[in-house]
Structure 1
Amino acid sequence: MHELSMANSMVEAILDTAKKNNAIKITEAILEVGELTMLNPEQLRFMMDILREDTIFEDAEIIINMIPIEVECEDCGFHGISKTDEGMDHLMAVATCPECDNTHVHILKGQECNIKTIKIEREDENA
């Protein structure tokens, strides 16, 4: 369950950024999570909810945007959204070309795990 360590890192980064910007409250955080990270968005949100209790981040809306896998195929030249071999029996998803079913692809998107934006309130804005 790598959601816990990722959630912890994200909550710490969000709180640190808010502190550096003199925030008194965090109102929203938008995250980008690639499908190849194998992070479950519901579990990630649940872990973040627990970790942000009793902080200025506690009541913020968390938006998790899942990023599809985008590839470029080395064999047929396809460029676009890929599929994974979810039916396979292994621990890591493997991106394949939807045109020729080859696994020789360059992954262009889908591995991200980013904090895209944080909305905060500052004390001077409420005065």
Structure 2
Amino acid sequence: MHEYSLAYGIVMSILDLIKEKKLRRVREIEIEVNELAQIDLEIFKTALNELSKDTPLEDARFIIREVPTTFKCHSCNYEWSWRDVESDVMRELCGDESECDNPIHLSPSLASAYVRCPKCGSLDIEFTSYGVRVSRVVGEVSD
């Protein structure tokens, strides 16, 4: 259950930001969760709310958005999403897709071994989006 550890890291980072920026209150925190991270968003949000109790984040609203995984080919500059290649990659990794837990979410570096550019076939690719990130924090500065 990596949702809890991710939530803990985010809460601790924002508490550090509150001290650094001398914020009196945080009203809203926007978090982007990449689809390939395979996070249960309800468990993640519950963990964020639980970890925020009795902290300056207790009344903050967490907005969690799932964003698509995208790739870019260094050979031909083509860009595509995980959904464009998911079936092919999972079939190559697992054979029977229905019996397979996507191992790439545990080790993103595996993508460069299994995800090929659908246009030119190159393995020289990069993630242009991946993981979990805080995209926005709305707060009030102390007087």
What TM-score range do you get, normalising by the shorter chain? 0.7 to 0.9
Structure 1 residues not aligned, in runs of 5+ = none
By how many angstroms is 1:17 displaced? 0.1
Q: Do the aligned partners of residues 37 and 110 (structure 1) sit closer, same or farther apart at CA in structure 2, a change above 3 Å counting?
A: farther
- Distance in 2, matches of 1:41 and 1:6, equals 11
Match of 1:30 in 2: 30
Match of 2:136 in 1: 117
- 1:1-127 aligned at under 5 Å gives the runs 1-72=1-72, 79-83=79-83, 84=86, 85=90, 87-93=98-104, 104=123, 106-124=125-143
By how many angstroms is 1:98 displaced? 9.7
| Superimposed CA distance per residue, residues 46-102 of structure 1 (whole angstroms, 9 cap, x where no aligned partner) | 10100000111111111112120212469x9852222234635135257757958x8
RMSD across aligned positions (CA):
2.9
Name the % identity: 26
TM-score (norm 1): 0.76
- Distance in 1, matches of 2:6 and 2:129, equals 16
Structure 2 residues not aligned, in runs of 5+ = 91-96, 106-110
Q: Do the aligned partners of residues 66 and 25 (structure 1) sit closer, same or farther apart at CA in structure 2, a change above 3 Å counting?
A: same
Amino acid at match of 1:6: L
- Distance in 1, matches of 2:128 and 2:77, equals 16
Amino acid at match of 1:49: N
Q: Is the 8 A contact 1:33 1:110 kept in 2?
A: no
Larger strand share, 1 or 2: 1
TM-score (norm 2): 0.69
Classify the secondary structure of the residue corresponding to 1:5.
Answer: helix
Classify the secondary structure of the residue corresponding to 2:11.
Answer: helix
Aligned length: 123
- Distance in 2, matches of 1:118 and 1:92, equals 31
Classify the secondary structure of the residue corresponding to 2:62.
Answer: strand
Runs of 4+ in 1 over 4 A off after TM superposition: 93-100
